[in-house]
Amino acid sequence: MLKAGSTAAAPALQLEEVRRVHSGGCDRVTAPAGVTLGFERGTFTALVGPSGSGKSMLMHCAAGLDRPDSGRVVLDGVSLGSRSERELALLRRGRVGLIFGVHRLQQGLTVYQNIAMARRIAGHRAVPQQVDAVLRRLGLCAVRHRPMSELSDGGRQRVTVAQALVSHPAVILADEPTGALDAPSARQVLELLRGYVRAARRTVVMATHDPVAASYADRVIFLRDGAVEGEVHRPTAHAVAERLNARP
């Protein structure tokens, strides 16, 4: 049974010594390499590190999309370790919003239909007023009835953010959500994510290699070679950039 294990005091997401070994070809890579982190409710955290530092793998383990070789993931009070694939899918459906790139969008459907579909997949009715409210917040009203194929890369990325927000999940996991966006669109998305954390006391974890994006978070975790290297609270873009460039 998947009980809503959430107690007000428990972190929204807890990782304990999470380790995942990949053996591809002739070498073995460990990422994450024994990561322990807690993400409290109502916080916005950025995972920062160079390409290959393990940000995406960490997010996949946190979402139950990949199983760690050892360690524990507790999502909204539920330990993921012994869950079946079906249970994990149900758990994600109710509690997690994923912003993991544009490949999940249905190219043949309109912007509105893609967002309504995400809400139905999360187990809710797609109420037009609620879909429209999210479209407004993301500046997508003008393209509401356009097929995805007519949108720019930035427009498509904003639809993925709308899909995650429309069901009010406890935890949003966002992997490079501003990677394809120009500066004004990126700012809009980051302000939306920050606003979501503040207004609804929800939890956002965002992987990024961009110091400006990271500066919107309450806390920045630095990753290198799959391991946590340090953290900064109330970061500035300058402090994040300096720290990223401090080591080879």
Binding site for Mg ion (CB under 5 A): 55-56
> Interface with ligand ADP includes 51 (CB under 6 A)?
yes
Which residues within the stretch 26-45 sit at the binding site for ligand ADP (CB under 6 A)?
29, 31
Shortest distance in whole angstroms from residue 59 CB to ligand ADP: 8
| Contact flag: residue 55 with ligand ADP (CB under 6 A) | yes
Residue number with the shortest CB distance to Mg ion? 56
Do 233 and 219 form a contact (C-beta atoms < 8 A)? yes
Handedness of CA 190, 194, 199, 203 (dihedral sign): positive
Kind of pairing, strands 203-208 and 44-48?
A: parallel
Contact between 56 and ligand ADP by CB under 6 A: the answer reads: yes
49: contact with ligand ADP by CB under 6 A: yes
The listed partner (ligand ADP, Mg ion, none) that binds 84, CB under 5 to 8 Å by sort, is none
- Distance (Å, whole) CA 241 – CA 228: 17
Query: Which of the listed partners (ligand ADP, Mg ion, none) does 49 bind, with a CB threshold of 5 to 8 Å by partner kind?
Result: ligand ADP
CA dihedral 7, 8, 12, 15 (to 10 degrees): -60
Which spans of this chain sit near ligand ADP (rule: CB under 6 A)?
22, 24, 29, 31, 49, 51-57
